[in-house]
Structure 1
Amino acid sequence: MTTDAYDIDDDPTRISRDAVWARLDAEAYWGRWRTRADVDAQIDSSWRVVGVYRAGTNDLVGFARATSDGVGFAYLADVFIHPDHQGRGLGKRLMQAMIEDGPGREFRWVLFTADAHGLYEQFGFAAPDTTAMVRPAAKPSIG
C-alpha cells in the first residue's frame, strides 16, 4: 500500500533488520536487555511484520511485529516510527495495516506500552478487563 510519500508493506523479506535494531537498541525503553540476535530471532518467529518505508525505497522509517496463534489471539510488539517521521499519521497507518487490514482483524490483541495510548485506543485497545492476568517478565525492561 502506498500512502503519499510512504509505502506500508507486510513483506517480511523487505524489513531492514539493521534499521529495526538501530531504533530498538537506541530508543526501545521496553526491551533494551535484548541482543541483536534476540531481536533477529523475534522477527524470524513473528506471525506478521509491517514496515513503513519512504515511497519507492527500502528506507525503513517505521515497524511493528506481532506474534499470534493464527486463530484468535495476537500480541503486538516493537512498534516505532523514526522520530524524523513522527507527526505525519504514520503510526495510525501502521496500526491500520497491522490490525484492521491484516488477517487478525477479529482477533483479541494485547500489547504492553508506556506511551501512545491514544493511538492504540483508536484501534480498540483498552485497560484489561477481569479476564486478563499478566505474569511479569523475569528480565526487567529498562526504561
Structure 2
Amino acid sequence: MTYEFDDDPARLDADAIWAYLSTDAYWGRWRTRADFDRQLATAWRVVGGYVSHTGAQVAFARAVSDGVSDAYLADVYVHPDHRGQGLGRRLVSTMVDNGPGARFRWTLATKDAHELYRSYGFAEPDETFMVRPAAPERRLPDSL
C-alpha cells in the first residue's frame, strides 16, 4: 500500500481524527468534540497521512507555535491498521523537518514512542526547562 502526507487543513477528515482521539488516544480522551474542533481550527500546522488510492486518512499530527522559534507537537497518531510501515517516521519528518518550523525548538509530551522522537532530535529536558502540569482546576493565590 502507498501513502501520501499533506499539510493542507482542508483535506483533513476531522471525523476520522476525532474517532481515534476520542477513543484510542491515552493523552486526550478528556476533550470534547468542541474542544478538538477549536484545537484543529487554531493549529499552527497540521499534517495528515492518507492511503494514496482511496484518500482515507490514517495518520495525523498537529502543532501549536508562535511561528517564529518554538513549536509544540501534539496529537500524533497512526491508525493501528497501518502501523509498522514507517508512517510515524514520515509523519514526524513531514511536520518537524520538512516544513516552516524546521529550525524551531520543538517540544512534546509522550509516554511512548520515545525512540521515534529521539531519532528526530527530541531529548529529555535539561535544567533550563520546566513544565506546569495540567490540572482540572487551579485556585488563584490569595495574594492576587
Shorter-chain TM-score range: over 0.9
Q: Which runs of 4+ in 1 moved over 3 A?
A: none
The aligned amino acid for 2:75 is: D
- Structure 1 residue runs of 5 or longer lacking an equivalent are none
Per-residue deviation, 1:106: 0.6
| 1:94-115 C-alpha deviation (Å, 9 max, x unpaired) | 0110010011011000000000
The answer as to 2:78 corresponding to 1:85 is no
Per-residue deviation, 1:58: 2.8
- Structure 2 residue runs of 5 or longer lacking an equivalent are 138-144
The aligned length equals 137
The answer as to 2:127 corresponding to 1:130 is yes
Q: Choose between structure 1 and 2 for higher RCO, CA contacts under 8 A separated by at least 6 residues.
A: 1
The answer as to 2:102 corresponding to 1:105 is yes
TM-score (norm 1): 0.93
Q: SS state of the match for residue 18, structure 2?
A: helix
Q: 2:44 is matched with which residue?
A: 47
Identity value in percent: 60
Q: 2:35 is matched with which residue?
A: 38
Question: 2: CA distance between counterparts of 1:59 and 1:139?
Answer: 35
Q: Which has the larger radius of gyration?
A: 2
The aligned amino acid for 2:40 is: I
| Equivalence map 1:6-17=2 (5 Å) | 6-17=3-14
